[in-house]
Amino acid sequence: MIEAAKERFGALLEEQLARIASMKANATPIDYATCKPIIIGITGGDGIGPAITKASKEVLEFLLAPAVAEGKVQFKDIEGLTIERRAQEKAAIPPAVLEELKSCHVILKGPTTTPQAGDDWPNIESANVAMRKELDLFANVRPVRVPDKGIDWTFFRENTEGAYTLGSKGIHVTDDLAIDFTVATTQGCERIIRAAFEYAKSAGKTRVTAVTKSNVIKTTDGKFSLIAKQIAKDYPDITLDEWYIDIMTAKLIDEKRRTQFEVMVLPNLYGDILTDEAAEFQGGVGTAGSANIGTKYAMFEAIHGSAPRMVKEGRDIYADPASMMRASALLLSHIGYTKESETLTKALDTCTITERKLTITGRETGCTCTEFAAYIMDTCKNIKD
Ligand code: IPM
Ligand code: MG
């Protein structure tokens, strides 16, 4: 038994060393200015995904109409990233779909159902996690803003390592002993921490907070923490502070303390948990968009799930597309359409915070995704540069 486990462990180590080699070989980021056209893949996912993705695509098409007319940007619809097709092919991402995704530069992706042990679906890996791995989308950037409470946070969640790397590859050594693994590499830590510092520098922020549990998870979190200290030396105008994840979750609800945080950088699982908590202050995960950025590809999504119950009850047309539209704003700024991104962000703030002429309730008491998209586009027209 131990021999079999050792053999599997050996194979996992080989895989990780190969991943390091690939990170080293693919470290230079793509320059979108050289992509003619920039191809934006749109994939609806399942559950409420298609409805909220369609509404967001309409808004993107509206804002990018001149760029499309000039041949600078092209949209590409990608079908098949649904739980039904994934279950049928027993694949986190069906190979043909993955190939299509790889033919795009950036992707707007609707939520996808993640099977869990004991439900009706085969226990395939999450499509999100698989896509982050396949396209090496290492930086999960999640902004959370609540202006009237002084909250302006940007989370840089490491997206390809930590407890997620081998999350589906743990070992049942015996009937009684189960082992999972967590992974940190020098390259993986460096690239996410540097991305957080670079963002802080360009956004005029003066503080980066690294969040780990390095007092207990000494090897991998310890590595993350040491590398953060090394990288901080390259940014003399930015202060690095370090917090443990447990006290950090507490401090996010400390009204005096929390407004001092600006940019947070953290390993995968802590980032997963902390960003849900953070989004709650903004109005819940339904309001938050998320960027998954790599050197070659980038994918933009909502941070919530696919809400299959809403579809069963025929309410998907009333789902809130704000998170996907926030993700669309991140997409625009990532490919260099900063002005369009700002316009969309301002329109979202107007339509969901200040003006709120239409409200989304998730049922027929509120507006539909399509009506909301029209409201956003009307608002964009009235926003002056
Ligand atoms: C997220 C989600 C995913 C994650 C799930 C759906 C696998 O919670 O994007 O935060 O854990 O990363
Ligand atoms: Mg999550």
pLDDT (mean) for 78-83: 96
Q: Using the CB atoms, write b or e for 188-207: b if 16+ within 10 Å.
A: bbbbbbbbbbebbbeeebee
Nearest CA to ligand 1 atom 9: 303
Nearest CA to ligand 1 atom 7: 126
Query: Given a cut of 90, is residue 370 above it in pLDDT?
Result: yes
pLDDT (mean) for 61-88: 97
- d(Cα 194, Cα 200) in Å, to the nearest integer? 10
CA of 4 to the centre of ligand 1 (A): 31
Atom of ligand 1 nearest to the CA of 269: 11
Atom of ligand 1 nearest to the CA of 132: 12
Residue 114 near ligand 1, beta carbon < 6 Å: yes
Under DSSP, is residue 373 helix (H, G, I), strand (E, B) or coil? helix
Nearest CA to ligand 1 atom 8: 272
Residue 126 near ligand 1, beta carbon < 6 Å: yes
Count helices and strands in the chain by DSSP H and E runs: 15, 12
Pocket test for ligand 1, best of 86, 126, 330 (most atoms within 8 A of CB): 126
pLDDT (mean) for 331-337: 96
Query: Given a cut of 80, is residue 117 above it in pLDDT?
Result: no
385: pLDDT confidence band, cut at 50, 70 and 90?
Answer: low
Query: Given a cut of 90, is residue 125 above it in pLDDT?
Result: no
Atom of ligand 1 nearest to the CA of 290: 9
Non-local (6+) Cβ contacts of 270 within 8 A are 157, 162, 211, 212, 213, 245, 248
Query: In this structure, which long-range contacts are made by residues 228-231, counting pairs with CB atoms below 8 Å and at least 24 apart in sequence?
Result: 228/189, 228/193, 228/265, 231/190, 231/193, 231/194, 231/197
Res 353: pLDDT: 87
CA of 290 to the centre of ligand 2 (A): 10
Instruction: Work out the end-to-end distance of the chain between its first and last CA atoms, rounded to an integer number of angstroms.
Output: 66
pLDDT tens-digit series, residues 220-258: 999 999 999 999 999 999 999 999 999 999 999 999 999
Instruction: Classify residue 292 as exposed, middle or buried by CB count within 10 Å of its CB (0-12, 13-18, 19+).
Output: buried
SS3 of 354-372: the string is: HCCCCCCCCCCCCCCHHHH
Non-local (6+) Cβ contacts of 345 within 8 A are 326, 329
Residue 163 near ligand 1, beta carbon < 6 Å: no
- d(Cα 314, Cα 227) in Å, to the nearest integer? 49
Nearest CA to ligand 1 atom 10: 272
The pTM for the full model equals 0.93
Atom of ligand 1 nearest to the CA of 112: 6
**DSSP class of 320:** -
Q: Are the beta carbons of 279 and 140 closer than 8 angstroms?
A: no
